[in-house]
Structure 1
Amino acid sequence: MLNAVSASPATPARSGLPTARAVDHYAFTVPRLDDAVAFFTGVLGGELCYREGPVEDPSGDWMSRKLGVHPRARAQVALVRLGSHSNLELFEYTAPGQITSPPGPNDVGGHHLALAVADPDAAGEHLRRAGAVRLGPSDSSGGSRRWFLTPVGTLISLSGPGRRDGRRFVPAPRPHSNAAERALGLLGVEHVSYTVADLDAATRFFTGVLGAEPVDGSEEAADGPPGAERCRRVLLRTGPTANCELRQSGRGALRTRPPRNSDVGGHHLAFYVDDVDAAAAYLREQEGVTLMGEPETITQGPIAGDRWLYFGTPIGIQMEIINMPDGSLPYETRTAARRATPGDLRWHDRP
């Protein structure tokens, strides 16, 4: 459970996704699940909480209705906790018509994971030894971020400890739980970044519908990944323990549509809510939002009891609302690893 700061009973209600607590997980579709789990645990120091699958419906349309993929798609899934506050949900899909190359940083659907570390140069050496490829300048003259393409195709950046200013979430130094975390010097996930077709529309959706709070923005951001065009960007505080960066797609984009969940490079963003049905009722009334069926509760497997629902958004980022009965999930009987949870934190708390 996270270190929690409870909201005061006198805290006024604010707009946004009803009963939301925090970002629950960042989801990414990878080429090979075994390789991705090995990298995120053995190199980045994450903890494998559970695996599940195959997720499939050999004769019906459940996969298309609920996940937005081909009816005959088949998925294997793993949940890796990374640091104190973040969960990564990793998918490996096989599906008819699957695109097997991820979108680039200028493309709609491009994305990266930004990690805060104690020493970016030392962390970079650790990643290089593990087979990650450094992108851009090979020394610190390249700016405050170090960019790497991992052996499993995930684009990540490294930056040093951030300065707390009360607006953005800054991962705090903490004892490391394993040797890989210690070697990387991991502090936590600093933000996730998505490239969108329309930055203004995406910002309005995050702030007006989800209740995110702008932290900063730029008309001409130059700190993107190598190969990315200078572009407009905005950083948003998404709940108590997460930031989300939105970047405007470049003129040189080769892809103007986001990947499907079943494509390599597919992704979604999930929010922990206390009441999935109330959140779904609210989302049903929002312009451009498409609920993918109705909320349902998983009845078997490692996370039996999870109530969840995917939804499409007008900005091209697929999202999910979930409520997990953490503390009584079946996977907890088989491992000491635990999902990161919001604990007592509420969406507008600022620990």
Structure 2
Amino acid sequence: MINPSTQAQKVLGIVHTAIAVSNLQHQVEFWQQVLGFTLDGTAEIGGPLPEDETGVPGIRSKIAMLTKGGVSIELYQPVAPQGRQTYRPSPADIGSWHLALKVTDLDELVRVSSEWGWQVRGKVAVVEEGPGPVGARLVYLHNADGTIIELVQMPES
């Protein structure tokens, strides 16, 4: 039997979250100008390392690493192989995911994000009972790539 406390010690934390995008430059600008992330660097990668890691022969991607508040985001634009698909899950689909960002002005970010092609999935909701922070305002945004981000504005103390 596996000892849960021993297993948990093998995971030290999250290194980054990676998101496939169709236009790297456009998304880097959005993450910098709208969400306030810092660009740490860009590269184009391919060859044995990404092929071995992903199991995708011939994979090649342009990548950008961004950070904010100790969180690292890797945006990557696959350029090879051909025949890629865009994954656009609903939040109810198994395998879907989203990144939740704590924000100070949800309404302003929704407005500005819409100028960059991000749309509200449903509507702004308010947490009325736990376990979440009662009074927090939440909204899901999505873009044409199928990426979903959640904006969370905590209640004022």
TM-score by length of 2: 0.74
1:48, 1:17 → 2: CA distance?
Answer: 31
Q: Aligned partners of 1:98, 1:155: CA distance in 2, in Å? A: 19
**Cα separation, partners in 2 of 1:41 and 1:151, compared to 1, 3 Å:** farther
- For the pair 1:38 / 2:29, whether they are aligned, the reply is yes
Greater relative contact order, per chain length (Cα 8 Å cut-off, separation 6+): 1
Residue 25 (structure 1) aligns with = 16
Letter in 2 for 1:159: V
Q: How does 1:141-180 map to 2 (within 5 A)?
A: 142-143=125-126, 144-150=137-143, 153-161=146-154
Alignment of 1:133-282 (within 5 A): 133-137=119-123, 140=124, 142-143=125-126, 144-150=137-143, 153-161=146-154
1:68 matches 2:55: yes
Cα-Cα RMSD = 2.5
* 1:254-301 Cα distance to aligned partner (Å, 9 max, x none): xxxxxxxxxxxxxxxxxxxxxxxxxxxxxxxxxxxxxxxxxxxxxxxx
Alignment of 1:302-341 (within 5 A): none
1:87 aligns with 72
Identity of aligned residues (%): 26
Which letter maps to 1:148? L
How far apart, CA to CA, are the structure 2 residues paired with 1:33 and 1:129?
Answer: 17
Change (3 A) 1:37 1:152: farther
CA contact (8 A) 1:73 1:96 kept: no
Amino acid at match of 1:123: L
Select the residue among 83, 101, 107 that pairs with 1:97: 83
Q: TM-score, normalised by structure 1?
A: 0.36
- Mapped partners of 1:115, 1:42: distance in 2: 15
Structure 2 letter corresponding to 1:145? L
Matched residues in 2 for 1:63 and 1:88: separation?
17
Structure 1: tracts of 5 or more residues without a match: 1-13, 164-351
Q: Which protein has the larger Cα radius of gyration, Structure 1 or Structure 2?
A: 1
SS of the residue corresponding to residue 98 of structure 2 reads: strand
Distance 2:115 2:52 in 1: 43
The answer to whether the Cα contact below 8 Å between 1:72 and 1:96 also exists between their aligned partners in 2 is no
Shift of residue 85, structure 1, vs aligned partner: 2.0
Shift of 1:32: 1.6
In structure 2, C-alpha distance between the alignment counterparts of 1:150 and 1:104, rounded to whole Å: 12
**Match status 1:16 vs 2:16:** no
Q: Structure 2 regions of 5+ residues with no counterpart?
A: 127-136
